[in-house]
Every structure is written in C-alpha cells, then in structure tokens.
Chain A
C-alpha cells in the first residue's frame, strides 16, 4: 500500500556537541559538566551543552571562556577516539538499513523507505530505536530528524537539540518551516540567502510558497533543488557510495604558533602537497591544475594557481612549481597561520600522456619511486616517508605544552606503539 504521507522516509542523525560528548562518554565523571575541546588551538572547537548554557561555544577563545567559567574543563581534541565513535555510530545505523550516508564525522543520513514492514513499526519508531541504540551503546546523544527529503530531515534534526527527535511529513511541513530563517537552510549559502531576502523570501516557508517559474529566473539548479526538497520532494538520494572520484582534492592545515619563517611555511605547504597527491594516487587520479594559498594572521588569504603542462599525481613533479608560486606570494614580515593546496581538473591516471619534451624513462622511474613510497606508507604509516623539504613541518602541528596532547595518546598499552593502537575507546576514569 503506497503511503502518500511518506513517499520517501529519510532520517538525518546529528551528534549533539559530538567532540565534547565523546569526551564525556569515555570519562563519565565529566557528564553534566561544562566541557570544551580545542585546547591545542587555544580556541574552542566544540562545547558540551552544559558549557553552551553558560555562553561558551565554538569560536570563543579559551581565555574568554575561562573568565566566564573558571571550572571549565578544557581538553585537547582526541581525533583518534572521535573517529572510533563516529565509525561506530554509522555501524549502528547500518543495523537498521543498508542505505547510510556518512555526511561528516558526526552526522549522516539513512533511507528507511519501505522498511516499516521489516521492523514492524512506524518510521518514527525506527528512528527512535536508532537513537536509543546509539545512546545505549556509545553513551552519547544524537538528535534525529525524519522527513520526506534530506533538506527537511536536516531541518527536523535541528528542531530540538539535544537528544531531539522530530518528524516532518506533508501534514506537518508548513508549520515546521514557518520560523526557519532562509539562511539557516542547508545548501542555501549566504549569497543565495541574501538574494532571496531581496525578493522578500525571509523564511523557509515563504521560499517554498514561491512559484517555481519565478524562482527559475533568479536561482540556479542547486537552488531550485533545495526548493523541491523543502517542498517535500526528494531530489538528492541518500548515497552510500564511498567517494568514487573527486572534482578536486584539497589539503589545508592550520599550525600554531603562526610563523613567518619561509622554510617552515613552505614545509607546511609541501606536506599538504604530499598528502593531496597521496590521496590522488589512492583514487587513481591525476591533476592538471594546482592552486596554493596561505592564510594570514588577519584570516585573509593569498593564493595563486597555475595549469600544469600535463596531469600528474607526483609531488616530485609539482614541487618546483609550488616553490615558485610560494615565493611570489610570501612576504617576510607577514605571519602565516595556515597553508593549503588544491589539485583540480582531475583525470584518470591511466590516461596521462607524456609531453613532447619529457623523457619517458624519468616518468617511469618517478612512478616506481612513488609506488615504493606508497607501499612503505601502507605498511609503516602515513608519515614513514616524506620529502626532506617537509622536515620542519613534521613535528607537532600545534604548539603543545604538557596537557595539550589527548590523554589517549599519552597512554601506551602493552603491545601498542605510537603508530598503532587498539581500535576501541579507553575509559578515562579512575576505577577502584
């Protein structure tokens, strides 16, 4: 029996203050307390709801936060443990449906259309089971939205954080969208939001009531797709596919303290280049355009890009160009805080032709070289082999003092090494 109320049932699951909640999960003594992460950066990356209640949230400096709440618990970001929790969260979702899309480290979509008969319960009840299962097994809460499209599901999960659960279907849709500012809608960026406000569409509901033909004149295809999704029509499917290929691959990294030393900033840039190329090779692709950029203390960016004479995935072939680009934008009296590399115009690596003036033997040697490097990295870790120019950037990415390294990293269980750890979270509480 086809249900007109639910042509599709899409669930959006969003971790509540995920990084902070993970810390509370592995150290239950922190539950109910104001906890923030981001100590190694000097700025708050994630804040528990208890901290948020005090006005402490992402972007606030640790200095300001401590003034508001002297008993604030400040922790360094434990990416390793957060990754384990993230993977587990998605694995739990997969117990209910195979169609799970890992959107980011702490949120994802599932498609549970047609599964009511399988689970013997309503869509809302299935989603609630997922929420309870995650809470019971991981010790943290997530907020859940159920709707007929991804955009609506995201609106729904945001409705009543934390630990919220809300369903939007054709009957409840209009009421749900009435108070949502147009700028808060997923995939409506600040430019589109400004444009829509100019045309007097200030809320999501007002936007959905606009005639499609009118919008077709002012919006491009993605904007119209959001309109369809907000109107309950699913345009973007929940995609399970691991990324098969990319439009571009970028690697950026912030470092502290900021530096104006050219060898250090260049080392950071080259490290990003090596990592980006590693990713390219992993997906069997090569890039024909490279962009580099640096971020200054005032958070402004300076960048340059150039086309390459042919596509490549080997840092050795691009390093000279990166060096040239870098020297043109570097100023010795400027402090830099981040660098980035973007490789675009990607093609399959099998379709590369050497240019007329190149020596094919050199290209073959480079290919074997990186084949060997990739094998070593696979066996001994990502940082086992790297070019010497990146040496200054191989130490800690952030200025750390004792207490700025996640607790898990300071504990080595028997048999573990600094590179290889057991893939299960370690409870951080003193147990007698």
Chain B
C-alpha cells in the first residue's frame, strides 16, 4: 500500500546496447519501495554485531525480518536459542536445527533446551 508521500521510480525494462527503440520501450507498473520491502508481517532490526559479515550484513545495517513463515535451510533468521537472541543461518542437522554464523570467528550454535525462530530475513539495508 503506497502512502501519498512515497516516491516511485518507473521500471522501464532492460537497456540493451545502443539507443532504445521507442517501440521497445515499455513502461511497466510502478512498484513502490514500500511494497518492495515491507509486507504486513515485517519489522526492522538494527544490526549490532558482525556474526553475519560474510553474508554482507554489517554492524549498523538495518535488516527487515518477516514473521510467521516457516524457515527453510539456508534462510537467515532471528532466533532465541536457549534464551539468547541471535542472527544466523538456519540449517537442519540430523533432524535438529543448527544455527551457522557468517563469520569464521563465531561458532555453530546447537540448542540445548529450546530454539524459537522469530522471523526470517528478507532484506538488508545500508545507508551511506
């Protein structure tokens, strides 16, 4: 849903070498950044650690996380593992969940008591 103050950029199709032919140019429907990034089940999180830096997620970034969808192996998730909140890759090993870091300095985490996934990552945003 677009608010009146949201700017949109027209997506004009791909550019091939040379001048675009007027016949080829086709204005597609406008997709706002709001609709592109946010759904009704999303929230933001400010990243404060670099456990996922190999995935390109750095301290100071804002990640967008969606709630309510079942995580698939390979998804980046926010999870509470034995009471601690982490941002990690979600995997299944021998039928049990395992949380992998995107940084060689961090360990793989296996839940001793419980693991709750709050949401899965859909975007990482960095403003310069």
Contacts and interface: CB of A to CB of B under 8 A. Distances in A.
Interface of A: 26, 28-29, 88, 91-92, 133, 136-139, 411, 413-415, 422-427, 429-432
A426 B43 CA distance: 6
26 contacts: A26-B43, A28-B116, A28-B118, A29-B80, A91-B1, A91-B40, A133-B68, A138-B41, A138-B67, A413-B44, A414-B127, A423-B38, A424-B44, A426-B45, A426-B46, A427-B45, A430-B85, A431-B47, A431-B48, A431-B49, A431-B85, A431-B87, A432-B48, A432-B51, A432-B84, A432-B85
A432 B67 contact: no
Contacts of B43: 26, 424-427
Interface in B42-96: 42-49, 51, 62, 64-65, 67-68, 78, 80, 84-87
Given A88-B40, A424-B38, A431-B87, A413 B51 contact: no
A425 B48 contact: no
- Among B49, B68, B86, chain A packs the most CB atoms within 10 A around the CB of B68
B80 to A, nearest CB: 7
Contacts of B34: 423
Contacts of A429: 85
Contacts of A430: 48, 85
A429 B44 CA distance: 11
- Among B38, B85, B116, chain A packs the most CB atoms within 10 A around the CB of B85
A91 B1 CA distance: 10
Nearest to B128: A414
Contacts, number: 69
A137 B68 contact: yes
Nearest to B85: A431
Contacts of A423: 3, 34, 38
B78 A431 contact: yes
A67 B51 CA distance: 41
Nearest to A132: B68
A236 B64 CA distance: 41
Contacts of B1: 91
B67 A136 contact: yes
B78 A427 contact: yes
B40 A29 contact: no
A136 B66 CA distance: 10
Given A136-B68, A139-B67, A431-B87, A422 B44 contact: yes
Q: DSSP class of A's interface residues: helix, strand, loop or mixed? A: loop
A88 B38 CA distance: 12
B112 to A, nearest CB: 17
Contacts of B49: 431-432
Nearest to B47: A431
Contacts of B85: 28-29, 429-432
Nearest to A136: B68
Nearest to A427: B45
Nearest to A91: B40
A427 B65 contact: yes
B67 A137 contact: yes
A28 B45 CA distance: 13
A413 B46 contact: yes
Nearest to B1: A91
Given A414-B127, A422-B44, 4 more contacts: A425-B43, A427-B44, A429-B85, A432-B86
A276 to B, nearest CB: 24
A424 B86 CA distance: 21
A28 B64 CA distance: 16
B40 A137 contact: yes
- Among A137, A426, A429, chain B packs the most CB atoms within 10 A around the CB of A137
- Among A28, A92, A411, A431, chain B packs the most CB atoms within 10 A around the CB of A431
B64 to A, nearest CB: 8
B45 A431 contact: yes
B44 to A, nearest CB: 5
A358 B23 CA distance: 64
A209 to B, nearest CB: 44
Per CB-CB distance, the 9 closest pairs between chain A and chain B, nearest first, are: A136-B68, A137-B41, A414-B127, A425-B43, A427-B45, A431-B85, A137-B68, A432-B49, A426-B44
Nearest to A26: B43
Contacts of B3: 423
Contacts of B78: 427, 431
Nearest to B66: A137
